[in-house]
Structure formats: structure tokens, C-alpha cells
Structure 1
Amino acid sequence: MPGIRPHLRAALLLSLAAITPAWADDGVSDRWHTQVGDVSAHADTTARGDAISRRLDALGIAWKREAFEHDGQSGHNLVADLGGPDGAPLLLIGAHYDQVDVGHGATDNASGVAAVLELAQALKTKPLAGHRVQVAFWDLEEKGLLGSRAWVATPGREKPALYVNFDVFGWGDTLWMMAPDAGTPLVAALRVASQHEKLGFQPGDKYPPTDHLAFLKAGWPAVSFSLVGGDEIDSILTVFGGAKPERMPKVMQVIHSPRDTTAELDRARVDDALRVVEAGLRAWDAAPAP
């Protein structure tokens, strides 16, 4: 692990060794796929939220539904508390659960919701030592990030040590990360973990707009993850830059279209990608505070 400071290298090795109890079974990608199907079976946002709450109940995780109004529209965020050491800083992990009016919102973003639920199970099974953990499921992302913006704008809201977002986590060989600073210990940890899993990893500050922006604009630390094909990333950025790529990437053909169903999913590397994220977060949790 050249170029990584000794204390971080030690934390990484510990985290990779300690990850086994949380992911001892081989059912991660199966559970993820089932949960994507359960959420995306519903066009109604309330029913999509009910599918999430049933899974949280099954995991024994306390949750609540928080109503909000923002920019003249109303919705409901779902928030679940995994607990942690009293007085410890907060790690917040989230994904939006609403969808547009066409398709089933499987890739965008039941896939991200299911990823958060899998991480919630892992972090409940083996809690972090240095952070409290909450997970949140945002409403009205498709209307302008309204759920996450309302959360951040709430007076007295606790600023998290880090917000970790998931949006479009449906297939591919590369963990794509929105990271404002690619030189942080978290990015270094993820790079090592991705090498361990032989998974592509591409961090950087160029990334499509999603709920991490609500946090960054408030000056709160945030990152975001997608699982896509590594060969899609440049063309995705070309589309969001307002140009037309030579070949339209799969993501842009699927999301916000009738094709956004579970038929487009590929679970082949989902378990690997989630192990990478969990290992990175455990190493980040174990590293000394800056």
C-alpha cells in the first residue's frame, strides 16, 4: 500500500479483517436485488416508503417519517437511527426514494436505497466504534433535491461529520465517487479496498447533481457513490455538460424512461462494491480525527 500513512494503513488492514462478521453470508446481492424490486414495484411515493420501512422493521432499526415543506412543495423523509457511542460525531448515509413519472425508478433510485439498507444492516450488525450512524431516505429529489435541502435547512439540525449519498447503483464494474478532495484518508481507504476486491474505482469532483449538493452548498462534508460501467463515466459527464457523446451511455438510456425497471439491473459486482464502501467507512471511522 505505497503512499499511505502508517496509521491509515494499519486501520485499513484492521477494517478489512473486521469486515467478515458483517458480510459473512453470500446473500448481499440477492437481498439488494429483492429490495430494489420491493421499492420499485410502486409508483406511489408513500408505498415506496412503506417498502423501506418494512425492511427497517425486519432489521430491528427504529425509524421515523419526517414531513417537510420546501419551495412550496411538501413531502416526507424517512430517517432511521442505528445508534452509536454517546456524544460521538454523526455519520449520515442516504439515498432518495422518489421517482419520476415514467418507468419504475429501479436504477434511479431504488438501487441506491437498497445499497443504503444493506449498509444499515452491516453497520447494525457490527457498529462503528467512533461514530453514531443514521440513515435517511429523501423525498422529492427529482423535484430539485427538496428533501435533502429541507433537512439541511432545518434549524438546529446536527451537522454530520460526513454525509454519504447513493444514487444509481445498478450495474457495472466501477465504483464512481463524488469526492471534492481526492486526497483524503477516506478516498485512500476506498482505493485500497477496491484493489482488494479487484473493482474499478474512480473518485473526483465531476459528478451528476444529486443530494450531496444540498450538504456541500451548506458547507457540510459530503460524498456520493454510483456503481456503473467504467466506460460510461466520461460520456455521462459529457451529457451533464450539455454536449452529446459519441455513444449514449446506458445510464442515460435507462433513467427517467420506461426502461427503468429491474430488468436493467446487474447484481454481479454489487456485493463487492458494498464491501469496498463498508471497508472504507470503517477505516475512516478508525482513523484519528484531523
Structure 2
Amino acid sequence: MNSHYPISSYTSRPAAGSAAARWLKRISILVLLFGAMLIGLLQIRAPQPAGPDAPPDAFSADRAMEKLSVIAKEPHPVDSPAHDQVRDYLLAELEALGLKPEVQQAQGESVWEPGKTLTLENIVARIPGTDNSKALMIAAHYDSVPEGPGAADDGAAIAAMLETARALQVSGPLKNDVLLVMTDGEEMGLLGAKAFMKEHPWAKDVGLVLNFEARGNKGPSFMFETSEQNGWLIEEFMKAAPQPVAYSLVYNVYKLMPNDTDLTEFRAGGLPGLNFAFGMGLNAYHKEIDTPNNLDRSSLQHHGEYMLSLTRHFGQLDLTDVKQGDRVYFNVFGWKMVSYPESWALGFMLLGLLLFAVTVWHGWYQRRLSLKGLIGGFFVALLSLAVVFGVVTLIWSILQANVSHPYYVSIMKDLSVGTYYLIGLLLVMVLVAFLLIRTFSRYVRTENLWIGTLLLWVFLSAATTFYLPGGSYLFTWPLLFSLIGLNLSYMMREGAWAWPSALFAMPGILLFTPILYLVFVMMTLDMAGPLITVAALACTLIYPLFCRMPRRGMM
């Protein structure tokens, strides 16, 4: 029992003012939480496309679309007549820009048809610099899959390369040479990139690679992968990119996945680089609907603005040694990013551990916490996550089982329709969490439940710091802010935890929202159970809002 407060404070609800005041308070808290989610979602956007009247030295999606309409007129896989037409068109466009493109011919074996030898034709061109340190290479592949014309994958990047080269020719030479490398056979197993690294003499001239890809036909272009020791690259990327979208968590997770792009081969050959892709509109990936008409021009504009601005920036820098210790990086407000050395992650994690210990002491001193209650709160948090996972997995399985045709199952996962299912499952998650916490708060004091939940965050912060350092920010910073909120609640009257909980949960909600949306977009609702469970983890930051008023005999 808390001797600082009379028994009546546990047995009756404190005066809360008029009903209107209570509703105003609830609405204000909802505005705070939804505001944090909206700010998080504002990170996931592409710039407005520039029209044909954009300045000559700027990138224009409309001008690039003219090229793309030719490149992606029809499927053009390796060794097809359409492929040869695209090759000749690209050579002619580069020559029209005053460049001297070359075709590197090589042989490669398709990973999809073992034993079948393909003739590869990489297209390469050099824009000479005035005082070259090492060359900056822009790379993308121009072959498509047989099933689709490849407007997004990877025609958009090729069209952006042509528009970028045109703008560079207008503005004049940079210090470093710029290499335009249009690889062939990427869809057959990164064959063109392998051939370039193994056989082309220009490979040894490269100081940095900017590679561009797509896994859908809309949405912002993400910088989703870097080479090792990316500290200098990230700092310069943040200086130069006009609308950067990048998360070190995505890069750390991507390294654990079996996916490859041409940058995989470039990195294997020792070249440092940055990798970009847009990934919304997954239903168009490698499909017949991957056409220029279905491509989001904002995605093309984002690709191009990265390409042009970063080329101009890195083209003026010394690229002889670009390796520096890795960094943690992430967006916070729109296109504003935060970055710090990865080595600092341990310090921030230890700060969280220290603040957790101070918070436990503070709660014990104020007689708001108990060891029994803390342990109880920890297991209640774990139980809530397990129940959410089970309920959501069951509901999603039932929904899919009651759809008779595989086509309609795929429609359920599509972004336009799947978003409504996602919102529905999130509401189910909130309802399950509310009912559970409302029930258990009869037996566990709110402060004990709060600190027990944050103990789970301590474990997650420590685990990611050691095993997934690029993702440590996602757990460490929400932990630190929520601990501050809990300490403030100790200094307020009993039951006045709503505002500290909501206000100091906002950073965590802001950080989690774009990551959850990205996982949904990239993995679809095939990952419904794990996805909503991660959302439930973020929801634990506002568990105090679900609690009842304290009463006697609670832990």
C-alpha cells in the first residue's frame, strides 16, 4: 500500500471534472497518438514529379517517361529481339548526348535454366571528369523478365540514368569521372554485373557505386542497402539527398535475407556503394502490368533526384577511400534524418538500463512499485503479445480459408485492399490489448504494469544493440522516453498517468509506424501475425491508458 496517499484514493475514482472535460482529455490524447502516427507515415512519401518544363539542369520525371515508354514498350529479356531493340535505342540515346557508349559482350549461364548459355551485352559509357580521384558509377539493369515489360524493374532506373546524363551534360563536368553502367542479365542471376566485375577494365576505376532497383511500381525510393563501413557514405548521403528515406534497421534486416541485386556482385568485388529501390505496388512486380502507364511518376522522380543530386555531390569528392565505421540512421520528421555512429548504440542502451534502474528505485521510494508487481507486469505484457499473435493469426487464417479463389486471396493482400484489412486487424489488436490490460489492471497496479512492460523493452534494446545494432534505435529511444514519462507520473497524484504515458509514447509510435507500414508493403499480410504483434509491442507503450484506477490489495 502507498502510505503517501489515503486509502480512499485506492477505492474511489478521483474527481475528474465534468463529463465534457473527460471527453476533451480523451480526444486530446487520441489526437496526440494519431498525430504521431501521421508524422511517422509522412516519412513514406515521394516528391512531386517535375514536368517537361523543368529547368534543363534539373531532373524531370516527364522527360524520363518519354524514354521509358520506348524502353518498356514490351518484355525484353536477354537474347530476345525486343532486347536487341532496347539495346540499340539506349546506344543511340547515349550517342545523342555526346557520349561514346560501348557494349561489353560476355557469356553467362542462367540460374533459372541450368546449362543454358546466354549472350550478355552490358552498355557502358564514361563522362570524363576534370580532376578524377576514382570514378562514380551509376548502375541499373536494362533487361526485363519474360513475363512483363519491366517499366519499374528496372526501366525506370534506366530512363532516370538517361535523364541524369542529359542534365549532367547541361551543367558541365564534375571532378570525378562518371560511369554509366547498364547491366544485362540481372533477372537471370546478376550475370551482367558478374561479367562487369570479372572482365571489364573499368571495374578497377570505381570508387563508389549508386545502384537502382525496384520491387513494385509505386511509392518512395528507399536507400535500403549500403556497403560495410558506411559512416562516411551515410553522412554525405544525408547532406546531398534532397528527400532522403533510409533506415539502418532495413539495411540490417536485408543483410539477413537471401535477396540479391547487382550491388551484391559489386560489393563482392570490393566496391562500396548505396542501393535504392521503391517497393510499393508489389502486385506489379515481374508481372505483365509493370507498364509505363502503371508506373507512379513520383517514384521515378525520387529515383532521378537521388541519382542526379548524389552524382553531383559525390562527383566532386575524393573517392579514393570512402570507408568509415558504420552508423545508425533513420528518418524522424518527413525527410529529416538522424544519424550517429553505431558504436554509440551501446552507450544509449546502457543509459536506458541505468535510467530503468533509477526508475525502479524512484518507484520503490515513492511506494508505487513492488518486485512482485514488476514481475507480474512483465508477464502480463508477454501474455498480451502472445494472445494478440494467436488471435490475429487465427482471424487471418479464417478469412483466407473462406475465400475460394487464389486470385481473391491475392487481392486481399494488395495495398489498395489490404490496407483495410490491416486497419481491421490493428483494431482487433487494440481491442484485445484493451480487454486484457483492463482485466489484469484489477490485480496489478498501473505503475507495476508500466515498469514491467518497459523491462521487456530493456531486453529488446539490449538484444538489438548486440545482434542488430542498426535496429537498436527502434527500441532504445522509445524506452528512454517512456521511462521519463513514468518518472514524471510518480510525481503526480495517483491515477494521473494518462498524459505522461501518451505524451512520452509518441516518439515510439512515430518510429514504429513507418517500419510497420514498410513491412506490410514489402511482405503483405502473409506476415499478418508477426506484423500485428510488432504493432502490439508498440501499443504496450500506452498500456497505462487502458488501466483501471488502483484499489487496495493490488500488486
Aligned to 2:295: 265
Aligned to 1:164: 210
Question: Larger radius of gyration, structure 1 or 2?
Answer: 2
Contact kept in structure 1, 2:141 and 2:183, CA below 8 Å: yes
SS in structure 2 of the partner of residue 268 of structure 1: helix
Deviates more, 1:127-136 or 1:178-187: 178-187
Q: What amino acid sits opposite 1:162 in the alignment?
A: L
For 1:24, which of 55, 65, 71 is the aligned residue? 55
Aligned to 1:218: 269
Residue 168 of structure 2 is aligned to residue 130 of structure 1: no
For 1:176, which of 212, 223, 229 is the aligned residue? 223
What's the CA shift for 1:122? 2.5
User: TM-score, normalized by length of structure 2?
Assistant: 0.41
Contact kept in structure 1, 2:267 and 2:273, CA below 8 Å: yes
Q: Give CA deviations for 1:98-128 in whole Å, capped at 9, x if unaligned.
A: 1111121111111111122222222333345
Contact kept in structure 2, 1:92 and 1:162, CA below 8 Å: yes
For 1:108, which of 130, 149, 153 is the aligned residue? 153
For 1:189, which of 236, 252, 263 is the aligned residue? 236
What are structure 1's unaligned runs of at least 5 residues?
1-22, 230-249
For 1:209, which of 246, 254, 260 is the aligned residue? 260
C-alpha distance in structure 1 between counterparts of 2:308 and 2:247, whole Å: 16
C-alpha distance in structure 2 between counterparts of 1:153 and 1:183, whole Å: 24
CA distance 1:109–1:50, change in 2 (3 Å): same
- Equivalences for residues 34-113 of structure 1 within 5 A: 34-42=66-74, 43=76, 44-71=82-109, 72-85=117-130, 88-113=133-158
Structure ranking higher in strand proportion: 1
Aligned to 1:7: none
- Equivalences for residues 240-259 of structure 1 within 5 A: 250-251=281-282, 253-259=283-289
CA distance 1:258–1:57, change in 2 (3 Å): same
User: TM-score, normalized by length of structure 1?
Assistant: 0.74
C-alpha distance in structure 1 between counterparts of 2:202 and 2:318, whole Å: 25
Matched positions, count: 245
SS in structure 2 of the partner of residue 219 of structure 1: coil
Structure ranking higher in helix proportion: 2
Identity %: 24
C-alpha distance in structure 2 between counterparts of 1:46 and 1:78, whole Å: 12
SS in structure 1 of the partner of residue 66 of structure 2: helix
Aligned to 2:309: 279
Q: What amino acid sits opposite 1:102 in the alignment?
A: E
What is the CA RMSD across the aligned residues, in angstroms? Answer: 2.6
Query: Using CA pairs below 8 Å that are at least 6 residues apart, which structure has the higher relative contact order?
Result: 1
SS in structure 2 of the partner of residue 161 of structure 1: strand
Contact kept in structure 2, 1:89 and 1:130, CA below 8 Å: no
C-alpha distance in structure 2 between counterparts of 1:226 and 1:152, whole Å: 22
C-alpha distance in structure 2 between counterparts of 1:275 and 1:254, whole Å: 23
C-alpha distance in structure 2 between counterparts of 1:155 and 1:268, whole Å: 34
Deviates more, 1:200-209 or 1:34-43: 200-209
What are structure 2's unaligned runs of at least 5 residues?
1-53, 77-81, 110-116, 322-555
CA distance 1:56–1:285, change in 2 (3 Å): closer
C-alpha distance in structure 1 between counterparts of 2:126 and 2:196, whole Å: 15
C-alpha distance in structure 1 between counterparts of 2:100 and 2:153, whole Å: 25
